[in-house]
Amino acid sequence: MLGLRMPTRDYDAIVVGASFGGLAVARQLRGHVLLLDRNEVGSVQTSACGTPLWVCEALGVTDSVLQVHESLSIRTPGRTVRYDLSAVPFCTFDYRAFCEGLLAQCRVQFLRTSVTGFQDGAVVTGEGRFTAPVIVDCSGWRRAVTGGAEPATGRLHSFGLETHTPLQDEGLTFLLDRRLIPQGLGWIFPVGQGSLVGLGSYVGRSKLKPPLERLLRDHGLSGGSYHGTYFPNRLLRPTVGRLFAVGDAAGQCLPLTAEGIRPALYFGGECGRIVQRVLDGALSLEAGLDAYRRVVVRYRRPYRVLRLAQWLAAHTPTGWFALVTQVAATRPFLSGWWPRYGWFGRPKPTGLPAVT
Ligand SMILES: Cc1cc2nc3c(=O)[nH]c(=O)nc-3n(C[C@H](O)[C@H](O)[C@H](O)COP(=O)(O)OP(=O)(O)OC[C@H]3O[C@@H](n4cnc5c(N)ncnc54)[C@H](O)[C@@H]3O)c2cc1C
């Protein structure tokens, strides 16, 4: 039987993935833009959704905030270190409300369909083949467009699993305990009503349900539904041929802290602004790809520092690492590094805004 040829349609730009990275790109774009995701926007949460409060404020989605956190505890078997975050408070937010808020700011056509690859210059989907001069892969760690035949997992990825629990009043907490998880960390993220409790493996170990259930039992809890996935732990290529990649698709999740939302939003905003200049004819596609690569390369060193810190967290005795975190939490040190970390991606006082 002869196969039917899928239709080819043309857009100015195609953005694959409508989560943090994809929405941050799409909200910068005007023109005939197609935004693709296999799920409805905001319907499948994979993250604990913790980020600095200013991120929600800068993006105009403060309504999504569930709880504000002005301190963070790092608990190890030997000591608990408390960080004062009041200089840059964190928050946990509602994924659906956050994403729907961003989508409302976009002037693009959204289509729910699964992308199966990139062939002969076209994005191949369950609804047909779509072409555009500019294509941005924001499909997360699977890299649906830029990944090609490369294996998705392995040493490039960490893995996280979490569940919602009724736990209240524990505060924002990271748990460093080799008995719980040998090369990784646990977390308790209060979200207004209850808390998300999870475990992350820096070495991509995905069988985390048994240790997570043990952790829950220790707190007298049982889990509801679990969600989790891989996330990258090192920078990957921000462009592949004529394709842009943003967020986890470009390995932009921060090592050690596993904060991937802010980088996806920040680099997504930068990428979107560059793409719009390409669509306006102010930049050639080659110059746009080069400009975006240069934005990302500027951050190579901080990513390396965080990767080193992640390696130390995974490979040095917990007591020693806890001592380092305690020193880092004291006044002269904390005020030296915390605002620099916490303000990464914030709108600049002059010039073009960043996360916005
Ligand atoms: C358990 C866990 C907890 C985490 N907690 C935090 C946290 O509290 N704070 C933080 O900053 N980071 C956290 N992270 C990391 C953060 O979730 C990611 O770094 C972030 O989601 C990356 O955003 P993204 O837009 O690049 O990719 P994603 O959020 O993964 O979005 C990718 C999108 O692409 C779509 N997609 C994928 N494949 C296809 C396809 N083939 N066809 C069509 N659509 C496709 C998906 O449906 C999805 O909407 C956590 C990660 C995990 C696993």
CB of 51 closer than 6 angstroms to any ligand 1 atom: yes
Supply the pLDDT for residue 232: 93
Confidence at residue 141, expressed as pLDDT on a 0 to 100 scale: 94
Looking at the CA of residue 21, tell me the nearest atom of ligand 1.
Answer: 25
pLDDT at residue 355 in the model: 66
| pLDDT in the model for residue 151 | 53
How far is 308 from 16, CA to CA, in rounded Å? 31
pLDDT, residue 317, reads 87
| pLDDT given for residue 349 in this prediction | 55
CA distance 113 to 111: 6
Residue 328: its pLDDT value, please? 87
User: CB of 12 closer than 6 A to ligand 1?
Assistant: no
- Residue 322's pLDDT is 84
Q: What is the mean pLDDT of each run of 10 residues along the chain (356 residues)?
A: 51 98 98 97 96 97 97 92 92 98 98 96 95 97 85 76 92 93 94 96 94 93 90 94 97 95 98 97 97 97 94 88 86 84 79 55
Burial (CB count <10 Å: 0-12, 13-18, 19+), residue 326? middle
Which residues make Cβ contacts (< 8 Å) with residue 254, sequence separation at least 6? 260, 262, 263, 303, 306
pTM of the complete model: 0.94
User: How high is the pLDDT of residue 6?
Assistant: 44
Q: Compute the distance from residue 78 Cα to the ligand 1 centre, in Å.
A: 33
Q: How confident is the model at residue 261, as a pLDDT?
A: 98
Interatomic CA distance for residues 231 and 48, integer angstroms: 13
Is residue 248 within 6 Å of ligand 1 at its C-beta?
A: yes
Confirm or reject: Cβ of 191 under 6 Å from ligand 1.
no
Residue with tokens 């930068």: 270
pLDDT of residue 346: 87
What confidence score (pLDDT) does residue 202 get?
94
In this predicted structure, what is the pLDDT of residue 120? 92
